[in-house]
């Protein structure tokens, strides 16, 4: 039987909730773990969320504990801004090449923020879905880990500007940083590469990109977040006005042969939750949810049942076909067809939230000996050609956070098997 000593080393690809959980759970059971994340911070998509359903609690509460478990655990090595380039070998003995992109800021950074004051360049802040900007040197969000600033190399003029270099009292800015290749030897690789939101502009007729007041569910999370672009106030992007009537459009891209054939699994609860955000700020707002089926499994049904008690929330079974904008006011007209009665429903609203689905983020350009197996939706399958390559969380199935964490814990169990007894 294994004892307290280290039992082996695994690589976890993806530092979202699934990857973080797999890394921590495996390490606390005795593994050494390298955690690789492409963003400059850990937390992935959950870091962008305002609250979780059904408790309406903030993700950063759990992240804080998880990050403490990572910070104080010498068995976990975190590589942010990093991607897997190559994997070769077989279960129990994989050789992995990871490339770490230059951060422009080294770990002497104390997050004091002196660099930001002098930086002359602005960039669109993708963490906030482009709804605000940051300087070229920035901290991705207030509670980001590592708490180290990062320079967006795509907009920073580099040493041609260099104003941040002398502004930093700690010698932490390094504009000459080069990409670094890191070679690892591990016994298993957990792919927890998560999801991206479906590109809503591909959905014809819904007007995303053309009408300012048509937003995605991820944008709604940022609007509702206290550290988001509006300081937590839900308002119309076009004119900053409050919300009297809002429509949520379910299955925006999901369960649709022309877009995503799968059900994205979490959007029903996501919209019901966002309806609560709206209700908290606008007690009288009219809320409509256009849906095909409301999918609230297990005890989550309670949340759905409680939402149905909201008298100003209507559930309309029907697929939205078209959204048009009144250019003068920015108001929107939502046209839906009831698939069974073939009757048309038309509503005038101030804001439309598209419940865009989850697209598996994939493994990028990684070159993997023997390859990885994906299903027709692009999710990794549960059984991979090489036994030590394991998929976890939304890389495998579109599921909510609690299921991701359970799955990641189970996958950590399987990773232990690759490490031998």
Of the pair 92, 330, the CB lying nearest another protein is at 92
DSSP line for 308-375: TT-TTEEEEESEEEEEEE-TTT--EEEEEE-TTT--EEEEEESEEEEEE-EEE---TT-EETT---B-
Taking the complex as a whole, the smallest distance from the CB of residue 97 to another protein amounts, in Å, to 26
Taking the complex as a whole, the smallest distance from the CB of residue 158 to another protein amounts, in Å, to 25
Taking the complex as a whole, the smallest distance from the CB of residue 388 to another protein amounts, in Å, to 13
Of the pair 43, 207, the CB lying nearest another protein is at 43
Taking the complex as a whole, the smallest distance from the CB of residue 19 to another protein amounts, in Å, to 14
Sheet holding 332-337, edge to edge: 319-325, 332-337, 344-349
Taking the complex as a whole, the smallest distance from the CB of residue 45 to another protein amounts, in Å, to 14
Of the pair 84, 380, the CB lying nearest another protein is at 380
Cα separation, 405 vs 21, in Å, equals 6
Of the pair 53, 94, the CB lying nearest another protein is at 53
Answer whether 388's CB lies under 8 Å from 189's CB: yes
Secondary structure letter of residue 83 according to DSSP: E
Taking the complex as a whole, the smallest distance from the CB of residue 391 to another protein amounts, in Å, to 11
Of the pair 195, 350, the CB lying nearest another protein is at 195
SS3 240: coil
Of the pair 83, 141, the CB lying nearest another protein is at 141
Answer whether 228's CB lies under 8 Å from 134's CB: no
Secondary structure letter of residue 379 according to DSSP: P
Contacting residues for 85 by C-beta, under 8 A, at least 6 apart: 97, 98, 99, 181, 365, 366, 367
Taking the complex as a whole, the smallest distance from the CB of residue 101 to another protein amounts, in Å, to 22
Angle at the Cα of 387 from the Cα atoms of 382 and 392, rounded to 5 degrees: 40
Of the pair 310, 375, the CB lying nearest another protein is at 375
Nearest Cα residue to 267 out of 282, 251, 255, 283: 251
Classify burial at 298, counting beta carbons within 10 Å of its beta carbon; exposed 0-12, middle 13-18, buried 19 or more: exposed
299-307 long-range contacts (CB < 8 A, ≥24 apart) are 299/54, 300/53, 300/54, 300/269, 302/54, 303/53, 303/54, 303/269, 303/272, 303/273, 304/268, 304/269, 304/272, 307/272, 307/275, 307/276
Taking the complex as a whole, the smallest distance from the CB of residue 354 to another protein amounts, in Å, to 18
Of the pair 41, 52, the CB lying nearest another protein is at 52
Taking the complex as a whole, the smallest distance from the CB of residue 337 to another protein amounts, in Å, to 13
Of the pair 102, 113, the CB lying nearest another protein is at 113
Secondary structure letter of residue 108 according to DSSP: T
């Amino acid at each position: 039987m294994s004892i307290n000593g280290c039992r082996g080393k695994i690589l976890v690809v993806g530092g979202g909730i699934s990857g973080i959980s797999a890394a921590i759970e495996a390490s606390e059971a005795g593994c050494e773990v390298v955690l690789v994340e492409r963003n400059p911070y850990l937390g992935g998509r959950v870091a962008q969320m305002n609250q979780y359903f059904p408790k309406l609690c903030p993700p950063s509460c759990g992240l804080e504990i998880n990050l403490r478990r990572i910070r104080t655990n010498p068995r976990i090595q975190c590589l942010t801004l990093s991607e897997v380039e190559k994997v070769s070998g077989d279960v129990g003995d994989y050789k992995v090449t990871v490339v770490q992109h230059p951060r422009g800021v080294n770990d002497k950074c104390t997050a004091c923020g002196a660099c930001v004051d002098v930086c002359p360049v602005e960039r669109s802040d993708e963490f906030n879905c482009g709804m605000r900007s940051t300087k070229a040197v920035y901290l991705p969000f207030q509670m980001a880990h590592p708490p180290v600033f990062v320079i967006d190399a795509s907009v920073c003029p580099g040493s041609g500007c260099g104003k941040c270099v002398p502004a930093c009292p700690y010698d932490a800015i390094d504009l000459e940083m080069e990409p670094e290749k890191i070679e690892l030897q591990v016994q298993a690789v957990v792919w927890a590469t998560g999801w991206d939101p479906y590109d809503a502009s591909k959905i014809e007729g819904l007007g995303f990109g053309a009408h300012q007041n048509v937003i995605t569910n991820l944008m709604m999370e940022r609007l509702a977040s206290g550290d988001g672009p509006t300081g937590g106030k839900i308002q119309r992007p076009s004119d900053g006005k409050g919300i009297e009537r809002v429509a949520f459009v379910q299955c925006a891209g999901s369960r649709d042969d022309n877009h995503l054939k799968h059900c994205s699994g979490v959007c029903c609860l996501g919209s019901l939750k966002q309806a609560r955000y709206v209700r908290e700020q606008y007690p009288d707002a009219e809320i409509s949810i256009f849906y095909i089926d409301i999918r609230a499994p297990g005890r989550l049904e309670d949340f759905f049942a409680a939402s149905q008690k909201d008298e100003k929330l209507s559930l309309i079974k029907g697929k939205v076909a078209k959204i048009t904008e009144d250019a003068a006011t920015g108001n929107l007209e939502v046209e839906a067809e009831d698939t069974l009665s073939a009757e048309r429903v038309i509503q005038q609203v101030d804001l439309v939230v598209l419940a865009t689905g989850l697209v598996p983020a994939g493994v990028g350009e990684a070159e993997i000996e023997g390859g990885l197996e994906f299903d027709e939706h692009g999710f990794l399958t549960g059984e991979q050609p090489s036994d030590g390559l394991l998929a976890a969380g939304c890389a495998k199935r579109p599921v909510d956070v609690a299921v991701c964490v359970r799955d990641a814990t189970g996958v950590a169990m399987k990773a232990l098997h690759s490490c031998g007894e």
